[in-house]
Amino acid sequence: MSDRIADKITTRVMSTYNRFPITLKKGKGSYVWGQDDQAYLDYTSGIATCNLGHVPTTVKAAVENQLNELWHCSNLYTIPSQEKLANQLVEHTVFDQVFFCNSGAEANEAAIKIARRYAQEINQSDKYEIVTFNQSFHGRTLATLSATGQTKIQAGFQPLMPGFRYLPYNDKDALADLIRPETCAVLLELVQGEGGVIPAGLTWVKEVVRLCKENNVLVIIDEIQTGMGRTGSLFAYEKYQIEPDVISVAKGLGSGFPIGAILAKNYVAEAFQPGSHGSTFGGNPVATTAGLETLRTMMDTDLLTEVEAKIAYLWSGLESLANKTSEIKEIRGKGFLIGIEVEGKAIDYVTKARENHQLLILVAGDHVIRILPPLTTTIEEIDRALCKLEALFEITSC
């Protein structure tokens, strides 16, 4: 290393993130605190991960109990919390079997692999191609960034993994080219989070599913960001009244503990046999304990019913806000996955919200602000956030 480069290094962590200039030391519910004890209303939820808020009491207690018992064991042995979580995921969805991993990218890797293996080993075909869509985001591994329909994500990693084809999102006319002889699966997000918070149209999605079913092509829904209550139902596919063959899950499943999964129908799951796929840490006792308690909290309480009312309340407030300023061009998304398209640069609004109003929000493109409240946020906190947003857009002081 040259002395010039060494002099510029302030951390030994690789610079793969443009970090905000604050260090968070504590979180609880909808709030986080910096090292200077400044409180921030966190409407990022760890990028749709802390769906029950920071350090949820029930999950904390369950994990603490598990930490006193067993942290890790190989998947060569039965893991009780893994079995229980799989059973609960199946009970509350239309799927039959679950594979556990550690992250959203790994979940999408597993979905890609099972789709190809289903086509080649179960259907005895030579199909391999997976269709995805422009502006999609499916992960950072070589396969998942190859599946991602954004050139900026793929830059510098060529040659990409072959076998992916991209179509325009929400474009009914483009569906004439959806299925080719080599196509084995279609992979899509029902709301493109990283691509600008763009929801899929209902009729478009239903047409995609119809074409896939008619041609024995698998429908894979990427629920990494939309899952675990984010859109108001446990998973977004419920809102679209469809039955995918596979979904990928992560983020909100573990309330911040690293966990991912794919859920599949029996006929697809048959493609994975011993030795065909695996993970050292996937489905470990601590992560699946966190996932089990997260899911229990969502399904055994009135949380999802309550969140629908809070979603309606926040959207109403945002629409009222948009009517007061020409800086907001559009509000879009589903549930608590919300995009606000603005005239200026989104990062400028995110910076002002943090520095001047102690509100944490995100970008989702050059001109789109992304808001991801925890499902547990209160009406009072929503009012506080709306007040801070009015101040951000200089409508009123807060």
Asked if residue 273 has pLDDT above 80, the reply is yes
**Separation CA 352–CA 54 (nearest Å):** 23
**Residue 185 is assigned to a structural domain of this protein:** yes
DSSP code at position 177: G
**Separation CA 252–CA 180 (nearest Å):** 35
Both tokens of residue 389? 């947003």
**Residue 387 is assigned to a structural domain of this protein:** no
Asked if residue 64 has pLDDT above 60, the reply is yes
**Residue 331 is assigned to a structural domain of this protein:** no
For 166, the 3-state DSSP assignment is strand
Q: What is the number of residues in the chain?
A: 398
Looking at residues 206-224, what average pLDDT do you find? 98
Q: What pLDDT does 8 receive? A: 63
**Separation CA 218–CA 115 (nearest Å):** 7
**Residue 87 is assigned to a structural domain of this protein:** yes
Q: Which residues contact 130 (CB under 8 A, 6 or more apart)?
A: 112, 115, 116, 147, 163, 164, 165, 183, 184, 185, 186, 187, 220
- What predicted TM-score, i.e. pTM, was given to this entire model? 0.95
Amino acid, single-letter form, for residue 14 = M
**Residue 97 is assigned to a structural domain of this protein:** yes
Supply the DSSP string of 244-272, one letter for each residue. Answer: -SEEEE-GGGGTTS--EEEEE-HHHHTT-
Amino acid, single-letter form, for residue 125 = S
Asked if residue 190 has pLDDT above 90, the reply is yes
Longest C-alpha distance within the chain, in Å? 65
Query: CA dist 263 to 78, 96, 138, 244, 390, Å?
Result: 19, 7, 16, 10, 41
**Residue 344 is assigned to a structural domain of this protein:** no
Q: What pLDDT does 159 receive? A: 96
Q: What pLDDT does 396 receive? A: 77
Q: Which residues contact 286 (CB under 8 A, 6 or more apart)?
A: 63, 66, 67, 71, 72, 257
**Separation CA 102–CA 65 (nearest Å):** 21
**Residue 18 is assigned to a structural domain of this protein:** no
DSSP code at position 29: B
Asked if residue 328 has pLDDT above 90, the reply is yes
DSSP code at position 169: T
Measuring CA to CA, which residue among 67, 98, 102 is closest to residue 272?
98
Q: What pLDDT does 7 receive? A: 57
Q: What pLDDT does 4 receive? A: 57
**Residue 84 is assigned to a structural domain of this protein:** yes
Q: What pLDDT does 397 receive? A: 66
**Separation CA 388–CA 42 (nearest Å):** 12
For 368, the 3-state DSSP assignment is strand
Q: What pLDDT does 16 receive? A: 87
CATH of the domain at 183: 3.40.640.10
Q: What pLDDT does 2 receive? A: 55
Both tokens of residue 279? 């993970």
Angle (CA) 93 313 296, round 5°: 30
Where are any strands of DSSP class E within 260-345? 260-264, 328-334, 337-342
Both tokens of residue 395? 């409508």
The tally of domains found in the chain comes to 1
**Separation CA 148–CA 300 (nearest Å):** 35
**Separation CA 291–CA 308 (nearest Å):** 22
Phi/psi for 317 (5° steps) reads -65, -40
Q: What pLDDT does 10 receive? A: 77
Range of the domain at 202: 74-299
**Separation CA 179–CA 219 (nearest Å):** 12
pLDDT in tens, 164-178: 999 999 999 999 999
Amino acid, single-letter form, for residue 316 = S
